[in-house]
Amino acid sequence: MPNNYDAAAWFYDALAQLVFGKALVKAQRFLIQYIKPKTNILIVGGGTGWILEEIARVQTLTLKITYVEISGRMIDLSKKRNYLQNELTFIHAAIEDCKLVQQYDVILTPFLFDNFLENRVQKVFNQLDQNLKSGGLWLMADFQIQDNYKSLWQKAFLQMMYLFFGLLCGVETKKLVKIKPYFINKNYAALKEKLFYGDFIISKVYQKQ
Ligand SMILES: C[S@@+](CC[C@H](N)C(=O)[O-])C[C@H]1O[C@@H](n2cnc3c(N)ncnc32)[C@H](O)[C@@H]1O
């Protein structure tokens, strides 16, 4: 399966911090403040699971969290996290192979879609949309490329990342797919957004109507 970060699991967080400082963490911290008490949450592509500790710190009333990761090594690291009182269900699979029957209050996709080719973006987006309740929140963090001359360094940076993670983890795309039209198309309301690392990273809170 493509996009599996097994080979990068042991150094991923350290590398992310070296390259982006705290930007990736801040982008996800911004999102988790919108998680309400006692909700059920789906996290897809959570990586080493540090976000589970952040969530437990911010929201102290019990949450039910389903954590889907394609990488077995990432799942193993995530299981060792101190997620306190929260009820965790870990699923080691690609999200597109999961038959999730329930609907969630919140779906979190942190730096997931930037790995995918357009057809997988479309498939996974539609699947997750069906797993989100009406009125539910979709918390998304991803890279973005602005359409202006300032974006040249971002394009070069992204190509380097795609080359590296393409070789190491089989990341399938070499091009960032624009996600915003998918949300517009399904009539989601954009509630909040914040940019990080210049405007290279975007965190956005969408609500399903
Ligand atoms: C770029 S990493 C981001 C990790 C984490 N969200 C973070 O910000 O530190 C993408 C993660 O998504 C996982 N992933 C990629 N494709 C997936 C899929 N189809 N289903 C579930 N997880 C997937 C990878 O194994 C990897 O851990």
Pairing of strands 201-207, 132-143: antiparallel
99 in a domain, yes or no? yes
From first to last of its 209 residues, the chain has per-residue pLDDT tens of 899 999 999 999 999 999 999 999 999 999 999 999 999 999 999 999 999 999 999 988 899 999 999 999 999 999 999 999 999 999 999 999 999 999 999 999 999 999 999 999 999 999 999 999 999 999 999 999 987 767 888 999 999 999 999 999 999 999 999 999 999 999 999 999 999 999 999 999 999 99
Percentages helix, strand, coil for the chain, rounded to the nearest 5? 40, 25, 35
Pocket of ligand 1 (CB under 6 A): 3-5, 16, 24, 44-47, 68-71, 74, 94-96, 110-112, 115
The distance from CA 170 to its chain's CA centroid, rounded to whole angstroms, is 18
18 in a domain, yes or no? yes
142 in a domain, yes or no? yes
Q: Say which CATH number the domain at 195 has.
A: 3.40.50.150
Nearest ligand 1 atom to the CA of 120 is: 19
**Residue to mutate, 48, 69, 165, 168, ligand 1, most ligand atoms under 8 Å from C-beta:** 69
Q: Which has the closest alpha carbon to 120: 191, 172, 162?
A: 172
193 in a domain, yes or no? yes
11 in a domain, yes or no? yes
Write down the pLDDT at residue 129. 98
Question: Considering its fold, how many domains does the chain have in total?
Answer: 1
Contacts (Cβ under 8 Å, ≥6 apart) of 15: 8
1 in a domain, yes or no? no
Distance 207 CA to ligand 1 centre (A): 22
> Are 206 and 188 spatial neighbours (Cβ–Cβ below 8 Å)?
yes
Domain extent at residue 175:
6-207
**Residue to mutate, 3, 28, 158, ligand 1, most ligand atoms under 8 Å from C-beta:** 3
Write down the pLDDT at residue 35. 97
* Distance of alpha carbon 174 from alpha carbon 55, whole angstroms: 31
